[in-house]
Structure 1
Amino acid sequence: MEQQGILYIVPTPIGNLADITLRALEVLKSVDLILAEDTRTSGKLLKHYNIETPLRPYHMHNEHKVVHQICSDLASGTAMALISDAGTPSISDPGFLLVRECLQQGVAVNCLPGATALIPALVNSGFPSDRFIFEGFLPPKKGRQSRMEALASEQRTLIFYESPHKLLKTLDQFISVFGPDREVVVSRELTKLYEETVRGSLEEVAAHFRDAPPKGELVIVLKGSGK
C-alpha cells in the first residue's frame, strides 16, 4: 500500500465497534499518524483493535491553526489517517478544511467507504430513498426558520441530525412549518444497545418524546411533500 504523502479519510463505527472495515483497520495500523477529533474516544477504539499508531488531536477548535502544518507534513512524505468520534469525517464533523487544503496543495486524499448514521436511518425509515436531501444540523438561531420554510414544499426525503436537548423544539418547529400530519421517523442510538426507531406523524412523535425524553445521538427522517 502506498503510504507516502497521502491522507486517508477513515470512517469509524457510530456505535457498535464491529462496524469497521478490514481495510480501515489496515490503514489505521499502517499510517504514521492518526488525526482524531477526540483522542480519548478514539483511543478506546484503537485499544480494542490493538492499534498503536500515534494520535494527534484535530477538531473544530484547532483545525484552522494546524491545517497548514498538517498539509506540510503530508507533502513531505508523512502518511496520515483522519478519524472523527464516530462515522465519516467531514459529514457534520471536522474534515472539509483539511481535505480542501490537501487538494489545493497537491496532496493525495483517499476516502474509505464506511459507517455514517444518515444512510441506515434513511433506509430504516421506509420513505423513498432514491432521492433525498441531507441537511445535517439546522442553524442554531439565525437562518433556522427560513431554512425550514425553504424546505416546506420539498418532495424529496429530508434527513437531519439533532441533539437530544433540542429534539422537541425542532419537532415543534417542524409541526408549524410542515404540518402536524407530516410523517417522520426518528432513529436514536443507531447500532447501540438501546437503539430505538420511532415512527408516526410529527405530532405523534413529538408526543412520544415529551413522555420519554430522548438521550443519545438522533437522526430525523422527514417524508417529502406530497408523497
Structure 2
Amino acid sequence: MTEPVIANSQKGTLFVVATPIGNLEDISARAIRVLNEVSLIAAEDTRHSARLMQHFGIATPLAACHEHNERDQGGRFISRLQAGEDVALISDAGTPLISDPGYHLVRQARAAGYAVVPVPGACALIAALSAAGLPSDRFIFEGFLPAKAVGRRARLEQVKEEPRTLIFYEAPHRILECLEDMRSVFGDERPALLAREITKTFETLQGMPLVDLHSWVASDSNQQRGECVVVVAGWQAPESDAAVSSEALRVLDLLLKDMPLKRAAALAAEITGVRKNLLYQVALERQGQA
C-alpha cells in the first residue's frame, strides 16, 4: 500500500523517513520515492545528508533541523506544510527521533493538525537486538548514558534490577568506561553484547559475560571505534531470598522495627508489590525464626 503525494492538497504532510545507518542498500524504495517527491527535506546535518542525496540522485532541497535550532526553526517547516507542501524529516542515519533531533518538529506538526507519516527503515537498536540472542519480547531503550562517571553509575543503579533486556548507545571514546561501570553495577557474569559499526565494513557483534566483554574490548583498540550499541540481559531474580529486590528488603526491614512480623510483611507487600507470602518467609529468615 502506498500513500499518494498530496502536495496539491490544502494541507501538507510531514514524512518521518528512516535512512541507512551504514550500508546504503538498506534504504527502502518507498523512502527514495518520498524524498524525491516532497518539497523540502529537514535534515540533521545538510552536508552529511547531501552525500546521501547525491548517491541516489535526489535533488530535493535540504534545510537544517538539528538539536540547536529545532525549536526556533520548526515554524519554518510548519509554514511549508501550511502552504500545502510535503516535508520529509531525516536524521544523519537511521530512524529520526531515536536519540536524534525531530521530536519538537513532529510535535508541532501534530499539534497544528498536519498528518505525520512514518516511512520505516533502519534502526541501530533494533538491528542489534535482533542479532543479540537475548530476550527480545520485552526490552527498554536507555539511549546514551550520562557522560560523567558519577551520573552514568547512578543511572545504571536505577536499572540494575530491571528484568527486561536493556539497550544502550555509547560513544566510542567512552565504551571501555561504560563496560567497566556495567561490570561494577550489574556484575561480571551478566550476559551482554557489543554491536559496533552495524551494517558497515567493520561490523562487529560480540556477545559474552560483561567481564569478558570488557577485557575483549580493552585488549583491542579497534573495538573502541565507531558507533556502539550495548545490549545487556535483564536482571534475573535468584531462587533464594534475593528474589526480593533490595528496595523491597529495605522497606521490610524498616517496618519490622515498628510492627509485628505478619503486619510488616503485609504492609511491605502493599507498598512494593512483592507477594505477601514471599515477604513473610523472608521476614521470618531475617528475624531468625524460620
TM-score range, shorter chain: over 0.9
- From 227, 233, 238, the equivalent of 1:223 is 233
In 2: Cα distance, 1:75 partner to 1:192 partner? 39
Q: Secondary structure at the match of 1:25?
A: helix
**Residue 32 of structure 1 aligns with which residue?**
39
Q: Identity of counterpart residues, as a percentage? A: 49
Where 1:139 maps in the other structure, the secondary structure is coil
Q: Does the CA-based 8 Å contact 1:148-1:177 persist in structure 2?
A: yes
Deviations 1:27-78 (A, max 9, x none): 0000001111111211111111111111111111111210122212212212
Q: Pick from 220, 224, 238: which aligns with 1:212?
A: 220
Give me the whole-angstrom Cα distance separating, in 2, the residues matched to 1:148 and 1:28.
39
Matched to 1:83, the amino acid is I
- Which residue matches 2:60? 53
5+ residue gaps, structure 1: none
Other structure's SS at 2:168 match: strand
Superposed CA offset, 1:159-186 (max 9, x none) = 0000100101111111111011111100
Alignment of 1:61-76 (within 5 A): 61-76=68-83
Aligned counterpart in structure 2 of residue 185 of structure 1, from 182, 185, 193 = 193
Alignment of 1:92-103 (within 5 A): 92-103=99-110
Give me the TM-score of the superposition, normalised by structure 2: 0.76
CA contact (8 A) 2:164 2:234 kept: yes
Q: Does structure 2 conserve the Cα–Cα contact (< 8 Å) formed by 1:3 and 1:31?
A: no
CA distance in 2, matches of 1:6, 1:123: 31
1:113 maps to which of 120, 128, 134: 120
The TM-score, its normalising length taken from structure 1, stands at: 0.96
The Cα shift of 1:208 comes to 1.1
**For the residues of structure 1 that align with 2:17 and 2:235, how far apart are their CA atoms?**
35
Q: Match of 2:14, as an amino acid? A: L
CA distance in 2, matches of 1:50, 1:164: 32
More helix by share: 2
The unaligned stretches of length 5 or more in structure 2 are: 238-290
Q: Secondary structure at the match of 2:24?
A: coil
Q: CA deviation at 1:9?
A: 0.4
Post-superposition CA distance 1:158-217 (Å, at most 9, x none): 000001001011111111110111111000000011101111111111111111121110
Kindly report which structure 2 residues correspond to 1:63-212, keeping only aligned pairs within 5 A, or say none.
63-141=70-148, 143-212=151-220
Aligned to 2:279: none
CA drift of 1:226 comes to 1.3
Cα distance in 2 between the residues matched to 1:143 and 1:73: 41
> CA–CA distance in 1 between the matches of 2:219 and 2:152?
26
For the residue of structure 2 that corresponds to 1:121, the secondary structure is helix
| Pairwise CA RMSD | 1.3
